[in-house]
A and B are shown apart, each in its own frame.
Chain A
Amino acid sequence: MGALAAPALLFALPLAAALPVALWIGVDGRAWRALVADPLLPRALWLSVTIAVVSSVLATALALWLVTHLHGTRSWQRMTRAVGPMLALPHAAFAIGLALLVMPAGLIARLLAVPLGWTVPPDWPTVNDPNGVGLMLVLVAKELPFVLWNLVAVLARPEVAQQLRGWLAGGRTLGYRDSAIWWRVLWPLLLPRLAWPLLAVLAYSLTVVDLALIIGPASPPTLAVLAWQGLQDGDPLRNAEGAAAAVLLAFVLAGLVALVTMLAIAGGRAWRRVGSNGVRTRSLGERSMARLAWWLMLALYGTVAALIALSSLTGVWTFPWLAPQSWSMGAWAQVLDGADTLVLSAGLGVSATAAALALALLWFEATPPGWDRRVMPLVLAPLVIPPLLMLTGLYRLALPLRLDGTLAGLAWVHTLAALPYVFVALAPSWRSFDVRYEHTALALGRSRAAFWWHVKAPLLASPMAAALAVGFAVSVAQYLPTQFIGAGRHATVTTEAVTLASGGQRHTAAAFAVLQALLPAIGFGIAAWVAQRRQPAHPDA
């Protein structure tokens, strides 16, 4: 247990303390009165709730619909393999690229301009629009692969897969189509297992700041951005107002979760009644629609990636031309000028993921078995508690330690951000590692260190490499922690991309978006190479 003292002090305790500290700051009478008096609040609140609910519901419904119609078909394998790379494209880069697609002078408008004879861009409310349509589009497109990935993981579990086959077979004999079996029987059974990922989706769409800055409503902004603006302000009252807004956000999230849970329970009952109404429906050709929808999704991702790469190289590109009128390396020249942002991003990423891995390993190896389950909620908490709230608390903790604005503080907060993901990535392999290997090695008279070095680590090299890649990607994509703890003094690839995109410097923003996407891709590439090099593990008897 002594081995856990340092990590507990550096990570577990601050994480646990951050929330109470933030609540303490945010619960200030004057701040709340100022917040309530803010004329922007009602609309910001309304925007946040509608955007979060609509995008989460749409993303989930689409994911369920896709799985229902494509599970077990030839496309299924391809789909499950494509989800990984889709997830690897960072959110900010995706938002920048999607804006290039759907904005009034974007690619879609240009494609329509030729047949419709437009000479000026149409008045489309797609980017920075007052209703948040642009933000909703990005959220749905980005959350869909995440929900799919979780669905695939659940369905791949052996006990679930087996039961699935049984139920599908049974339902078919009763005369139901596959999709009917899914909607009536399987989803009501499986959805409760997805509670945590779906909660994470809702929490993210409610509290996201960097995407809202790039493509979300400008004025009034979402509640999360409102809180962020307050927290950045030098004026103490405005600052407290921002903290109060962050606390309000957390309460809104809790309220939404309670609401959704109640609706799910009530809705579940009604669903089961409908589900057992005995009606056998005929197929409407939804499978081909689902396949088409999936191809569209892939095409969307491909187009977005191509657009950011293209935009970083173009000069003038007036509507309605489909090809740029001039090319320019100006954006990349700027990026090279600011090469220290790239170095910082990469450096932070490597140190954060390495530290997170070390902590996770320490945890897995040194914890008494019972504690493992009990601590999981604490580790996963950062994924569902609004980051604004956590960071307010962490910043307040960092101030007396003089960590604000320092590289050490940045590394610390990035490690905290990467930790839950590294944990989740490693836990399955660790838990399923046959403990008898260890017993055998020890019984042979070797030390635990020898066992770890010669046997366990090599056998788990692939999952560790994957976990490192995930932690690296998470660190590269961080926006709020860098801005908060870095006190605005340090620029990473992501903060530059967001600032430039919201400031109208499109081409340079696109160049940074390309970098933001490349860095994790390199990490995942290395992980894949490591996985290939390892010999296949001894098959379990």
Chain B
Amino acid sequence: MLHRRQLLLAASGLPLPVLAQGSEWSRIEAAARGQTVYFNAWAGSERINAYLQWAAGELAQRHGVKLEHVKITDTAEAVKRVRTEKGAGRSSDGSVDLLWINGENFLAMKREGLLYGPWSEKLPNYANVDTTGKPTTRIDFSEPVDGLEAPWGMAQLTFYADSVRVPQAPSSFFELLEWAKRNPGRFTYPKPPAFHGTTFLKQVLLETMPDRNPLYAPHVADRFEAMTAPLWSALDALHPHLWKQGRQFPASNTVMRQMLADGELAISLTFNPNEIANQIAAKTLPATVVPYQHAAGTIGNTHFLAIPFNARAKEAAQLAANFFLSPAAQARKADIKVWGDPTVLALDKLSATDRALFTAAAARGQLAKTAPTLPEPHGSWVDPIEREWARRHGQG
């Protein structure tokens, strides 16, 4: 009898939070109508820009929300802007409503109290996120998300090479070094702090460090030299064989992709495993380009959407984030013909019709063999690594 009463109580208790959440969400939806969301997002790729334009159309049509894509070259710019606004006492009417973010930038904003929330786990579409199969959706660079940002897409460091020039792709950093010695000037990496460049440094560090555990704990200054020594000696060995002998570095991975298409580079890198198929379909990369990952694993993470504490259009921002988590938006984003950014959703949590949206047709340039995902080091390591790199190699 106690059982039944407990069950009844539990059964009557369950809908209440759901109902409360439902009415809260309708309030947000109503308040969001007519608002403009200034979405600060990296604009380095035509695919992303085009996808965001589609999303803007959908949001305007379905919810009356205007999405403005503010194109930035580095997330750190937007972070600085929010920080400056906080310093100037601007606690409402901020210039950034929604921010594409992860890693050390998220860490900085979380620590300095620059984020609004928690909000992300209350989004209706959050229920479909694959939190078990993709743990990085809840832990960002070893830092708990705590509902302060909503997962948007998955990423994993992937190399790609023109198979005409590189018949046998190197499957580890050491093989890459050997290949570079035999083929000088055909590889390079974007200049840190561009995040693809920084990621390459982290990858090399992970591959060359005997014991990786300290990297998953917050950075410790007095052990930094010793910990990162393998990285710097590896780079010293690599640089003379890089493009322009390592005296000059391209500004971004988009520039590198163009150089590979021209034939100036033979190997390049990206964070989106599906990007190569996407670019081959768009005829910006030759069909002979093949993506690959280092056999022992490459760094992977989730990228997120966050809302600054002083955002003007918080409701519309949440609505937009919810839209970006919807199966339709995630499926379109994952479509190789559009962007190819892998989804954060768990396909088995979706209905059959929604799951059908994700069927991928085989495309030229898809990753043949996936490698394990190495988790990102703790976000506090990023700044020191970038600064040390700038000190050693940043001039000229």
Contacts and interface: CB of A to CB of B under 8 A. Distances in A.
Interface of A: 39-40, 43, 104-105, 120-121, 123, 128-130, 218-220, 232-236, 315-320, 325-328, 330, 334, 337-338, 488-489, 491, 499, 502-508
Interface stretch (B3-11, B59-67, B79-87, B218-226): B79-87
Nearest to B95: A487
A505 B247 CA distance: 23
B269 interface: no
Given A316-B286, A503-B73, A504-B258, A120 B186 contact: yes
12 contacts: A104-B264, A234-B81, A315-B282, A316-B284, A319-B263, A337-B53, A499-B43, A504-B250, A504-B256, A504-B257, A504-B259, A505-B258
Contact of A326 (B77, B262, B283): B283
Given A39-B395, A130-B396, A218-B251, A234 B262 contact: no
Contacts of B262: 104-105, 121, 317-319
B235 interface: no
B264 A489 contact: no
Contacts of B45: 505
Contact of A503 (B50, B81, B254, B285): B254
Interface of B: 43-46, 49-50, 53, 68, 70-71, 73, 77, 80-81, 83-84, 87, 165, 185-186, 191, 244, 247-252, 254-259, 261-264, 282-286, 394-396
The 3 closest A-B pairs by CB, nearest first: A315-B283, A504-B255, A105-B262
Contacts of B244: 123
Nearest to B78: A234
A129 B50 CA distance: 31
A121 B286 CA distance: 16
Contacts of B282: 315, 328, 330
Given A121-B264, A218-B251, A318-B261, A330 B396 contact: no
A330 B263 contact: no
A503 B258 CA distance: 10
Nearest to A319: B263
B263 A316 contact: no
Residue with the highest number of chain A CB atoms closer than 10 Å, among B87, B249, B251: B251
Contact of B255 (A233, A489, A503): A503
Contact of B254 (A40, A105, A326, A505): A505
Given A234-B77, A318-B286, A337 B50 contact: yes
Contacts, number: 117
Contact of B84 (A128, A235, A504, A505): A235
Given A121-B262, A505-B258, A316 B283 contact: yes
Contacts of A506: 258
Could you say which of A232, A325, A505 has the most chain B C-beta atoms within 10 Å of its C-beta? A505
A104 B185 CA distance: 12
Given A233-B80, A318-B263, A508 B46 contact: yes
Contacts of B185: 120, 123
A234 B283 contact: no
Contact of B44 (A128, A327, A503): A503
Contacts of B247: 130
Contact of A328 (B254, B283, B394): B283
A334 B250 contact: no
Given A130-B396, A318-B286, A328-B283, A121 B252 contact: no
A219 B262 CA distance: 23
A219 B396 contact: yes
B71 A105 contact: no
A507 B279 CA distance: 13
A121 B50 CA distance: 31
Given A318-B262, A505-B254, A334 B46 contact: yes
A326 B248 CA distance: 30
A451 to B, nearest CB: 50
B182 to A, nearest CB: 13
Contact of A219 (B80, B81, B87, B191): B191
Given A503-B254, A504-B250, 17 more contacts: A104-B262, A105-B263, A120-B264, A123-B185, A130-B396, A218-B248, A219-B248, A219-B395, A219-B396, A234-B84, A236-B84, A315-B284, A318-B261, A326-B283, A330-B284, A504-B251, A505-B46
Contacts of B70: 488-489
B396 A235 contact: no
Contacts of B186: 120
B32 to A, nearest CB: 21
A498 B34 CA distance: 33
Contacts of A325: 286
